Structure 1
Amino acid sequence: MLSDEIITGIKNEELSSEIKHKIENHWKDNIQVKGFNEADTANKYYVLSMFPYPSGSLHMGHVRVYTISDTVARYQRMNGRNVIHPIGWDAFGLPAENAAIDREIAPDDWTEQNVTYMKKQLKQLGCSFDWDRELTTSDPQYYKWTQDLFLKLYNAGLVYQKEALVNWDPVDQTVLADEQVDENGCSWRSGAKVEKKILKQWFVKTTKFAKDLLDGLDDPLLQDWRDIIKLQRHWIGECNGVGFDFKILNNGVSCDFLSLWTAHPEYINYVKFVAISDNHILAKTAGTKCSDRTEKMDIVLENPFNSQEIPVYVTSELEFPPMSDSYVGIPDIDEQATVFAKKYNISYNPVPRLASQKQIEDQQQNMCDKAQQLSIGGYWTSVKLRDWLISRQRYWGTPIPIIHCEKCGAQPVPKENLPVILPKLSKLVQRGRSQLAEVEEWIKTTCPMCQGPARRETDTMDTFVDSSWYYLRYLDPTNNEEMFDKEKAMKLMPVDLYIGGKEHAVLHLYYARFIGHFLYSLGLLPEREPFKRFLVQGMVMGRTYRIKGTGEYVPEDKVQILDLKRNKAVAKETGNPVVISWEKMSKSKYNGVDPDEMFKTYWTDVAPTSHRNWNSNTFPGILNWQRRLWLSIRDFLKHRNDPPPMISLDKFRSHDDYMFDSRNYYVKGTSFNYLISQQLSIAVSKQQGLTNSIRSMPPAIFAHSPQFERALAVQIIMLAPMAPNFASELWSGFVSAPNRLNNDGEILWDKTVFEQCWPETDMDYNLDLVCQVNGNENCVIKIPRKDMEKLSKDEAILLALNQKRSPKYSESSKHFEYRLSGIYWMRKYCQYLDRSTPTKEKS
């Protein structure tokens, strides 16, 4: 209970900012919940929001995603689920390194102070995270296991090193991942035009799992991924060919093999030449350009199936497969390969044709099996998909656990020697080079094979490696023996609900799914897909300013606005034109809105719910609703303490019935939006509808109606997951009222709002049985819930056939379907369509 001072506030005072902050200060330590019960894994619900990068402070985009996950977590707990709701920090990466360089401090110090501040903000937000599961990817106790994951991939033959063309930022002087380059080919951070550069890189052979990952998108486990599945399909591509590794002979390049894709694996024995474009890494290395001619290269490939030598041509004469810069020439099978071979005197013999589709499929499988046995590919993939380039030439990342020995070559660091810890640097001094490569005392080491002198790998891993498996470490964050306990993973995976932005729909989700599939193949996970449901939260957009021409982002205080409506502005210092637009909030774009100002002005139980450009005008509607709820409790207390005269029996019954109907209608709708559609903004609208019904009642109903009392209790309970502080205060006022009318155990008067059971519709309340003919609605039958739960399919069809049907369907039509869809009741799992309306509407 609250102190008399604040209870008196409910009775007598307006809901001022001062009162709101008193409420928050009182309840912030009382709304936290018990953590996950390890003994009750059968009832688990794992809700996970994508962890934040500790950039310095939260912005409103963070507020949105974490209030959504907290709302879902609280809702599931109130429905009796044993909830895992962890949080951590995606702490490695280029932004922290650059920020540390600019401030002349160590990136670990910079990251630690940011984590401290952002953690304080998250706690101020009131989120019910499992803080005992907190992790930071830059902690050696975390990246020890990222390195262990690398070794698992290495030992499975999925890691290799070769030269590659990479994205190079000429301003930040660093390699960029594909997702860090915008649609105009500019760096996401500096705005500079990205260049291509040849560097020796480490890769993970994700293409081995391409077909598996594509087929996994049809897994019935996945729920409500919507267009995210389409994006994943597009990224992977149609897996209609097979990749094979051909050994490079007398090459002079730092690569032992060339990965080649062909749509005709059944005829791979008959390859007579390979063609590449002048954009291919081999052509770039040799300095060969063939925009108008064809040139035979000095290098030769070896066909791994018959040891024949295969010439390589750089040419522009052939039509390469889409998004590919290489072509496997099989004359007599492919017409353009035949023409090319004749023109350049490449000898070939007629290819024996396989007589049937079954023979083709059998031979394809035969060649794939042979390739897999030789560890040279043999997996179905798409022509456009590339292996995962994980090398980054920077200090602030997970060290790649490889040791280079002149005698033994590249050797993995033994597991017992993990973690390979980053050396402590007092500060980073210059962009454009990896200071890690200059720490000689760290680089010099001993070869694990011959015990001779050796050198450590100085590349660090892409931060996507850190985030590809963090959802598993949350399950077992203190395990010092393994990445995670297999038995725990078998009981607690997959994640039930994953929440994040659509901008992560391709790469992060692709890599996380890949690791899930890989670990499943090792027998460490119960399912190959790591996430059941994926909830895409709408992005909160902030206004950005970019110098026209260079694309450089600049802060708003360095811009002179000439005409905001027409998006006209110039840079204050130079007068150069500035392009104004709306983009996802980001520190690097100088467009983040710090929630501290919102906390001060509005308090933490207010958060934007719309997918739109940031605008504080979102708040008045929510604030007005809070005020009306506040007044409802005040009036309830007033009329219970000093009951007004009773109205006529007929009017009382009419109002009491209406509150019964409103309660059930809005419980049904709000629960549907919490659990099934997860449209929380619509759940707010439904609750506002119940508030309208409550506010429309006369004083006598406040004082004497059992159904009003039930409806008001439900109003507060359904608000609690979204506004835990405010709902706790309202509940404190509600249970302090005298003359209680419902004492049958439905309302737990001596318990907090979070200890109440989530409300259900009454058994006597009518639900809708929707009857369809060929997918079109024919009629709707009202059926009490108690009968709906016992209704069989045959009984439903019989009911439908006995209804008056639309004239456009014949009497003999038997193509009726019944549909019970909508919210799954947590106990009875009775489904129904969210269509019913109250018997009367009031606003």
Structure 2
Amino acid sequence: MQLLLRAGVLQHFKHFYGRRFLTQSATGIEVSELTNDVKHEIESHWRTQVSQGQFDPARNDKFYVLSMFPYPSGTLHMGHVRVYAISDTVARFHRMCGQNVFQPIGWDAFGLPAENAAIQRGVEPAEWTDANIAQMKKQLQALSCSFDWKHEMSTCSPEYYKWTQKLFLMLYNKGLAYQNEALVNWDPVDNTVLADEQVDANGCSWRSGAKVQKKLLNQWFIRTTAYAKALLDGLEDPTLQDWRDIINLQRHWIGDCDGYAFQLLTSATNYLRIWTRNPEHLKDPNSFIVIKQNHYLSKLSNASRLTVENPFAGTIIPVIFSDQANFPEHCDVYLAAPSFREQDKELQETFGLAFFAHTKTSIAIDAKLAREEVLEAATRLKIGGYRVSSKLQDWLISRQRYWGTPIPIIHCKKCGAIPVPEDQLPVVLPDKKFLETQREEALRCTCPNCGDTEAKRETDTMDTFVDSSWYYLRFLDPSYTGDIVNKELVQKCMPVDLYIGGKEHAVLHLYYARFVNHFLHSCGLSPTPEPFSRLLVQGMVMGRSFRVKGSGRYIKEDEVEIVNAKKNQARLKETKEPVVMTWEKMSKSKFNGVDPTDMFKEYGTDTTRLISLADVAPTSHRNWSSATFPGILNWQKRLWLTLNDFYAARTVVGDAGMENVDTQSKAFQVEDDKLFDARNFYVKGATFNYRHTHQLSVAISKMQGLTNSLRRTPKHIVRFSPQYERALASQIIMLAPMAPHFASELWSKFVTVPHRLNASTPELQWERDVLAQRWPNIDADYKLDLTIKVNGFENCAIKVARSNLDRITHNDAMDIAFNTASVTSYLTDKKIRTTNFVLYPGIEAILNIYVDKIKQSSAQTTNSDEEIVNK
């Protein structure tokens, strides 16, 4: 009902609180019903106050939360809303826990979509991209995420791609970037080369969907395979948390590093990749190479005379095109060593290749020494010699399109390919119109080596994955001019504590980012080889789509008559044709997209954020349906009523029955204790899901449980209970990371209540806004669980005061377990294999005991507990 204040009471509190009481809150809203208009008024008032996130580089207690930066396509979609709502919620939580949170945002702004869209509209890609960035930034600000906008950056800015070019030169100088002629994947629609990773299982482009063609081109590669073994071993790094199946995806992509890769120069002047488990075989002066007959080299006019230089044996290796060899899996090149393998000697005779005269008897080669010599020489010559799987290839980064980072190489007729001197970076993109009309002039430059003025700049640009492979480092100081990164800040803030993004980037982007960080770690520019400690791989937001059965034509929802929603049965209104209803990734072409701006306008930002976080775990797909909205809408309304009721109970005087409440009575204390337990129980649950599991939907459920406890509280308890006040304060504070505007409004009303029973409580800073409050803590005397599990199953849970639980060690937990009857009786005929102990301070402790059953003869007696432990 409408909150009504009698004139006399109102006059009294006008005098007591002055003008502030007239508003009851910072916005002055005094209605009892939470309407959409009220929400918009609240958000309009609080938006500028809740949107900024300040990172202090001077502090040490950092928490780096990073969501994958967006591609500026022009408008946000619900997937963006979900990922940034997750990121911002976690960032705000850790900020309220007292940590120095860094949550940056920027733009992955190069790439084919922008260039193609600009061509279609007759504008420059830069103009199109800048307009999209402005539009999406406006929407992101409407979402009120606490990004540190001072660190905003865009990969298409010369101030950024100057350092991407520096990264390329660092790789080039280490022999990890090279140019080679190769048979590549050509997208005939986008007119560019694709890396093997960008071609799907059907041989189609990941971007355009066109059937990929094969073309022989001179391309730039990054030798990611040189770090294959380090990247594979890095997946066992104990700092990696919550990577789950992503580790298996990465491991599968890299493969078993059970061999070695070399790149040897052919007489056709390109490099041939040779993979072998036995690098010592390259010491064989009689070695030869067998290449499959369908290999692109077999199409060369001089293929029959093709040879390969062997710097390890000082010989020229003959090449045979044949399918007879025992090729390693995933390989079309076979290194044969007759001096080592009898089967290769037979193969040599089959092909009619002559032996060196002295090998007809035998060559005494020390295989171990030969291997060491080959690997050392390969490293020195920068032609391989590293552990790698037979299937993993180097990263092809050349793209034959304009809108990308220019590769900083100059081609000179006298000197060949020459890297651009670092003091001449960035090599900026030439004006597109000038490039199209006067291409030769636009590309002409001076060779930095010999001064030839007829040299030409490299025309290929880099794959956009290069730009995003290191952005997490540059974010820390995007204006730094001293080097590629601000080493001091990187040393202080890396690795990223929590990295949030879609599973579609679980292989390529993560693989490239891990490679670059491993490389920069080897250069002393990153403190750890692995860039991301924890991953949160969020599920997609799915919309309900409708397709006419048979034709598969997508239709709009308003064209459909739903027959049975539970059975997904529907039909076309006009023709009564059956319609297939499914949940699919939102897309304009499928008519199943939802515009976030429409959601903001109808329900408000906070409600949209809460809906995107509720019901399902962040890692699961989210079926976007208005049928799920009422739960969140009703919860917000109940919270609004709860604050109004609290305000009324604490401010309205003269209520019948309120004057004689005995706050020292047993009945009152029972109710107060219930609120003590409820507050601690739900704070514990919500905190665990905010901090440890990131199951934010469960955190919402816990907070809703606390709301239910508050709503059930009798009115006289609401008026006089200190624990009710604490519980309500905790409720608002825990809501703040998810719904910052709404929580700020509730808090501003909460702190205007004159009867502050806990006004001196240090846990609450009454004069500060809700986002400046410290996260609710579990009371020291509240009993928490020490859970004992045997072989994964809970045996018992022992209640321990929080103050004691936080100090429990592994040995303490073992002592407690073996003084507990249910544990010792279960272990009577079992042998302890191992134990481990996990402590979540302020939450719970878990002792895991793993045992094996003891095989006993009939004459054996049962071992005592002490004997079991000793064993």
Shift of the alpha carbon at 1:688? Answer: 1.1
Match of residue 76 from structure 2: 58
> 698-707 vs 231-240, which deviates more?
698-707
Structure 1 vs Structure 2: percent identity of aligned residues? 54
Match of residue 221 from structure 1: 239
- Mark the CA change 1:703 to 1:664 in structure 2 (over 3 Å): closer, same or farther: same
Of the candidates 55, 59, 66, which is equivalent to residue 48 of structure 1? 66
Matches within 5 A, 1:198-209: 198-209=216-227
Shift of the alpha carbon at 1:118? Answer: 0.1
Matches within 5 A, 1:65-104: 65-104=83-122
Match of residue 857 from structure 2: none
SS in 1 for 2:54: coil
Q: Which amino acid aligns with 2:450?
A: C
SS in 2 for 1:769: strand
Match of residue 725 from structure 1: 741
SS in 1 for 2:676: helix
Of the candidates 171, 174, 177, which is equivalent to residue 159 of structure 1? 177
Aligned partners of 2:410 and 2:589: how far apart in 1?
A: 35
Aligned partners of 1:543 and 1:395: how far apart in 2?
A: 38
CA contact (8 A) 1:10 1:733 kept: no
Aligned partners of 1:298 and 1:549: how far apart in 2?
A: 57
Q: Which amino acid aligns with 1:531?
A: F
SS in 2 for 1:419: coil
Aligned partners of 1:438 and 1:563: how far apart in 2?
A: 60
- Mark the CA change 1:613 to 1:85 in structure 2 (over 3 Å): closer, same or farther: same
Unaligned runs of 5+ in 1: 289-295, 428-434, 836-843
CA contact (8 A) 1:10 1:630 kept: no
Match of residue 295 from structure 2: 280
Question: Which has more radius of gyration?
Answer: 2
CA contact (8 A) 1:774 1:816 kept: no
- Mark the CA change 1:196 to 1:716 in structure 2 (over 3 Å): closer, same or farther: same
Match of residue 698 from structure 1: 714
Q: Which amino acid aligns with 1:716?
A: I
Of the candidates 678, 699, 703, which is equivalent to residue 687 of structure 1? 703
Q: Which amino acid aligns with 1:276?
A: I
Q: Which amino acid aligns with 2:625?
A: N
- In the alignment, does 2:503 pair up with 1:502? yes
Shift of the alpha carbon at 1:777? Answer: 3.2
Shift of the alpha carbon at 1:689? Answer: 1.2
For each residue in 1:786-810, what CA deviation from the matched residue of structure 2 results, as whole angstroms up to 9, or x when unmatched?
Answer: 1222334333322221211258635
Aligned partners of 1:175 and 1:812: how far apart in 2?
A: 66
Of the candidates 51, 73, 76, which is equivalent to residue 32 of structure 1? 51
SS in 2 for 1:80: coil
Aligned partners of 2:737 and 2:115: how far apart in 1?
A: 38
CA contact (8 A) 2:683 2:777 kept: yes
Q: Which amino acid aligns with 1:599?
A: F
Aligned partners of 2:200 and 2:570: how far apart in 1?
A: 21
Aligned partners of 1:216 and 1:477: how far apart in 2?
A: 28
Shift of the alpha carbon at 1:512? Answer: 0.7
- Mark the CA change 1:335 to 1:589 in structure 2 (over 3 Å): closer, same or farther: farther
Unaligned runs of 5+ in 2: 1-19, 849-871
SS in 1 for 2:533: strand
Shift of the alpha carbon at 1:343? Answer: 2.1
Aligned partners of 1:629 and 1:446: how far apart in 2?
A: 70
CA contact (8 A) 1:769 1:819 kept: no
- In the alignment, does 2:37 pair up with 1:18? yes
Q: Which amino acid aligns with 2:677?
A: D
- Mark the CA change 1:717 to 1:558 in structure 2 (over 3 Å): closer, same or farther: closer
CA contact (8 A) 1:766 1:783 kept: yes
- In the alignment, does 2:777 pair up with 1:764? no
Of the candidates 368, 380, 384, which is equivalent to residue 387 of structure 2? 380
CA contact (8 A) 2:24 2:749 kept: no
- Mark the CA change 1:353 to 1:711 in structure 2 (over 3 Å): closer, same or farther: farther
- Mark the CA change 1:257 to 1:820 in structure 2 (over 3 Å): closer, same or farther: closer
Shift of the alpha carbon at 1:755? Answer: 1.3
Shift of the alpha carbon at 1:344? Answer: 1.7
Match of residue 476 from structure 1: 477
For each residue in 1:571-625, what CA deviation from the matched residue of structure 2 results, as whole angstroms up to 9, or x when unmatched?
Answer: x9xxxx9999755446798865320011011111123133233333332211111
Larger RCO (alpha carbons 8 Å, 6+ apart)? 1
SS in 2 for 1:28: helix
Q: Which amino acid aligns with 1:210?
A: A
Match of residue 642 from structure 2: 632
For each residue in 1:709-735, what CA deviation from the matched residue of structure 2 results, as whole angstroms up to 9, or x when unmatched?
Answer: 111111111111111011101111111
Matches within 5 A, 1:587-602: 592-602=593-603
Shift of the alpha carbon at 1:360? Answer: 5.9
Match of residue 186 from structure 2: 168
Matches within 5 A, 1:521-560: 521-542=522-543
Aligned partners of 1:117 and 1:54: how far apart in 2?
A: 9
Matches within 5 A, 1:185-584: 185-249=203-267, 251=268, 255-270=269-284, 272-283=287-298, 285-286=299-300, 297-331=304-338, 333=340, 337-347=344-354, 349=359, 363-425=370-432, 439-452=439-452, 453-542=454-543, 565=568, 583-584=584-585
SS in 2 for 1:805: helix
Matches within 5 A, 1:613-692: 613-642=623-652, 645=657, 649-692=665-708
Aligned partners of 1:137 and 1:810: how far apart in 2?
A: 60
Aligned partners of 2:178 and 2:572: how far apart in 1?
A: 49
- Mark the CA change 1:770 to 1:412 in structure 2 (over 3 Å): closer, same or farther: same
- In the alignment, does 2:793 pair up with 1:786? no
CA contact (8 A) 2:789 2:847 kept: no
Shift of the alpha carbon at 1:454? Answer: 0.5
Aligned partners of 1:170 and 1:140: how far apart in 2?
A: 29
Shift of the alpha carbon at 1:32? Answer: 3.0
For each residue in 1:690-722, what CA deviation from the matched residue of structure 2 results, as whole angstroms up to 9, or x when unmatched?
Answer: 111111211122111111111111111111111
SS in 1 for 2:217: strand
- Mark the CA change 1:100 to 1:655 in structure 2 (over 3 Å): closer, same or farther: same
Shift of the alpha carbon at 1:279? Answer: 4.4
Aligned partners of 1:234 and 1:445: how far apart in 2?
A: 44
Aligned partners of 2:109 and 2:336: how far apart in 1?
A: 47
Q: Which amino acid aligns with 1:667?
A: V
Q: Which amino acid aligns with 1:219?
A: D
Shift of the alpha carbon at 1:145? Answer: 0.8
- Mark the CA change 1:409 to 1:535 in structure 2 (over 3 Å): closer, same or farther: same
- Mark the CA change 1:338 to 1:816 in structure 2 (over 3 Å): closer, same or farther: closer
- TM-score using structure 1 length: 0.88
Q: Which amino acid aligns with 1:499?
A: I
Aligned partners of 1:454 and 1:544: how far apart in 2?
A: 55
Aligned partners of 1:483 and 1:556: how far apart in 2?
A: 50
Aligned partners of 1:704 and 1:184: how far apart in 2?
A: 70
CA contact (8 A) 2:410 2:420 kept: yes
SS in 1 for 2:104: coil
SS in 2 for 1:403: strand
- TM-score using structure 2 length: 0.85
Matches within 5 A, 1:104-183: 104-183=122-201
SS in 1 for 2:313: coil
For each residue in 1:31-69, what CA deviation from the matched residue of structure 2 results, as whole angstroms up to 9, or x when unmatched?
Answer: 1345111211x2111111100000010000011111111
CA contact (8 A) 1:87 1:129 kept: yes
- Mark the CA change 1:181 to 1:363 in structure 2 (over 3 Å): closer, same or farther: same
For each residue in 1:433-481, what CA deviation from the matched residue of structure 2 results, as whole angstroms up to 9, or x when unmatched?
Answer: xx66963322011111111121111111000010011111111111123
Aligned partners of 1:99 and 1:335: how far apart in 2?
A: 60
Aligned partners of 1:61 and 1:182: how far apart in 2?
A: 23
- Mark the CA change 1:441 to 1:424 in structure 2 (over 3 Å): closer, same or farther: same
- In the alignment, does 2:197 pair up with 1:184? no
How many residues in Structure 1 have an aligned counterpart in Structure 2? 800
CA contact (8 A) 2:50 2:740 kept: yes
Aligned partners of 1:579 and 1:456: how far apart in 2?
A: 54
